[in-house]
Structure 1
Amino acid sequence: MPTMTAAERRAHEKREYDAFLAGCPSRLLLDRVSDKWVALVLAALGEGGPRTGDARPGAPMRYSELARRLAGVSQKMLTQTLRTLERDGLLTRTVTPTVPVTVTYELTGLGHSLQGLMREVKTWAERHMDEVLANQQEYDSRDVR
């Protein structure tokens, strides 16, 4: 195995994780974080869980709180999303042996680093929705031949 200089190593790493390349593994991560439920779960967890008695931003949230916060998410989709985020190291799942069992979810440091971006995307979408809808309406009304 040949020895690489620091510059060669950086060049190799840059090549290895270039999302513009078809075989780059970072594409899988981009695909995952572009999912609406991932974005909304991260945004919700970043806001904290007032029903757990801790309304601090980033406070743990129970499964049922997340389900209520994310209107329209199915139990199956929320469970899959949470498992995937836990597997990726973006959140932790804590089971407390109470009756009934209490399960909470909390962002990890890695999750917090992504959560801010996801919240900004959510906020951008909310702020610009009227403009996007107007553009869609204008586009759809064009006489395209």
Structure 2
Amino acid sequence: MSEMSPPRQLRLIIEADDFDEAVTYFRDVLGMPEQAAFATTGEDRVAILHAGLATIEVASRAHARAIDEVEGAPPATGPSLRIALEVDDTPAALAASTDAGRPLLAPAVETPFRSLNGRVQGPAGWQVTFFQELETLAERTRRTGFVTDDERP
């Protein structure tokens, strides 16, 4: 078996019925710079937007419900599509989103894991959680309860 090098980029493809609404929100409201992308003509449209560092968070349904509770957001009624974006100022990101017509799902709240989280209903069925880290990763890893899954008792 050959070794594979880790992926160099994570790209979420959001198939949106209202392309302009989605691009306006992510590019213009949230300030994600657009890079060149290839599409043909007519309704074949694409925008590739830079969103900074990407990680994949794999959560059990129980953990997702726990996060809903911590953030004060309504639980999803089934599998949900959610993006979590690290920002410098969660209240400002929420204000920009609601000013752009995005419904607020949960106001900014300080979580037990020391981040300031808030959530809006984004375009195309995606929920968008904004989180502002209140301590460094090094500080967090020294706190009780912060381990990798294989270290969990």
User: Could you say which TM-score interval applies, normalised by the shorter chain?
Assistant: under 0.3
What TM-score results when the alignment is normalised by the length of structure 1? 0.26
Larger Rg: 1
Q: Which of the pair is proportionally richer in strand?
A: 2
Q: Which of the pair is proportionally richer in helix?
A: 1
What TM-score results when the alignment is normalised by the length of structure 2? 0.25
